[in-house]
Amino acid sequence: MRDYTRFYIDGQWVDPAEPRPLEVINPATEESCARISLGGEADVNRAVAAARRAFDSYAQSSREERVELLEACAAVYEKRFADIAAAISEEMGAPKGLAGGSQAFTGLGHLKEAAKVLRDYPFEEAIGEHRVVKEPIGVCGLITPWNWPVNQIACKVAPALAVGCTVVLKPSEVAPLSAWIFSEILDEAGVPPGVYNMVNGDGPGVGTFLAKHPGIDMMSFTGSTRAGTLVAQNAAPSVKRVTQELGGKSPNIILEDADFEKAVASGVEEMYQNTGQSCNAPSRMLVPRARLTEAEDIARRVTEGVVVGDPADDRTQVGPVVSKVQWDKIQGLIERGIEEGATLVCGGPGKPEGLARGYYVRPTVFSAVNNDMTIAREEIFGPVLAMIPYDTEAEAIRIANDTPYGLAAYVQSEDIEHARRVAAQIRAGNIHINNQWGGFAVPFGGYKQSGNGREWGAHGFTDFLEIKAIEGYGT
């Protein structure tokens, strides 16, 4: 069993001010795989003080020094890549192929992209005889989730360090193992003491004190919309900047001129990636009403071919959901879908056959869903797809936008101009035409209750910078 009960503060692994042990559960076995300690106000104060001491000198470091530091972090990360992948699989049940592919790969990608952007990033701009300068905002509190654990850590830490900020990270207490290894990586890479700090804990015990702390200049939060509003409320009295990447209920519009077999099948497969535990998952599939039966048949066939099982098995495509709490929530929403009259195409309540141990969910497809149903409104965060019929393209666009969220949307069409016209009418931060992914340089973030600010690439630098106008600077 891993013993990860210390925190990383001021360049050292330190004991918590008051030990509060917590068992980390492997969702595939329902057994403890590690022990951490939950931090408190005293630990937050210690970490913030270290970050404040480090800020003045680190903010004055050169672009070249920070590029070199990020490249060193990436080099050590590559050396520890297998360790990161194994931790992600263990802490959240990601199948081995996903953990060692997309999940671990994202952390390395963000470090490399930040170094690339930093080399030529314009920190100064001349406006006549005046100068506009972009400077690091200060000490940043970072709160990250369990579903893409190292991705969300790296896409915050990398740009913050790139522009000259210092940070205090609170990773999810549900999946904290990869965060520990990430901290070891930064330590080995030579990040100066106090520039990067990590304190484990829960929302009330650490997150609240970070958001309230007068020594924190900016909060970057990824998680549920409910928790995000609490962070903003706690941060408001000190008027610190708050950026949020929150929930989603993303529409996937299958247009009449799409390659129907390919579009429906890929939409179902995308929904099941990461066991449906992605904020940008295409959880609402909008299908022409006249072809709904055809879509159901495709979705059923794809779902029945999905391999659900042990994350360590090379054949596994869908692992367990992260916890008993999450499993119970998903089961309740599946039951609600049945109660509200949606057509159950496949899957349903309970665990898949032969998987009595572990938090496994049956991949589930509902059809004939009305957009007012609970399963069309609430973020389920599991392998559950809602198929919604539409009669006209205008209706499809209206349904797509009829949600409090606006993180992502998907448009499927063989006619690129047609897809572009529809994409232009969707109120969401990321639109995927024919399931294309933009890479690490393309900004990620949402409209409405999906949050504010943007992460990834050059756009991800913006939230960590202040803008100073120096008037009369001269030419």
Residue positions annotated with a catalytic role: 245, 279
Contact 331, 384 (CB under 8 A): no
C-alpha distances (whole Å) from 474 to each of 128, 131, 134, 135, 470 are 8, 8, 17, 19, 9
In order of 111, 163, 241, 452, 473, the CA distances from 465 in angstroms are: 18, 7, 10, 15, 20
If you ran DSSP here, which 8-state letter would residue 192 be given?
P
Taking a C-beta distance cutoff of 8 angstroms, is the pair 167, 140 a contact?
A: yes
- Give the whole-angstrom CA distance, residue 241 versus residue 365: 40
In terms of Cβ atoms closer than 10 Å to its own Cβ (0-12, 13-18, 19+), residue 226 is exposed
| CA-closest candidate to residue 366, choices 391, 337, 393, 392 | 337
Comparing CA positions, the residue from 122, 114, 106 lying closest to residue 68 is 114
Per DSSP bridges, beta strands 430-433 and 408-412 are parallel
| Distance, CA of 75 to chain centre | 23
| Amino acid (one-letter) located at 327 | W
Q: Assign residue 3 a region (left: φ > 0; alpha: ψ between -120 and 50; beta: otherwise).
A: beta
Amino acid at residue number 152: Q
How far does Cα 423 stand from its chain's mean position?
Answer: 23
Cα gap 259→271, rounded to integer Å: 18
Q: Judge whether 330 and 378 are in contact, CB under 8 Å.
A: no
Q: In angstroms, how far is CA 446 from the centroid of its own chain?
A: 12
Distances, alpha carbon 20 to alpha carbons 38, 146, 200, 201, 455, in Å: 5, 20, 10, 9, 33
Contact 68, 152 (CB under 8 A): no
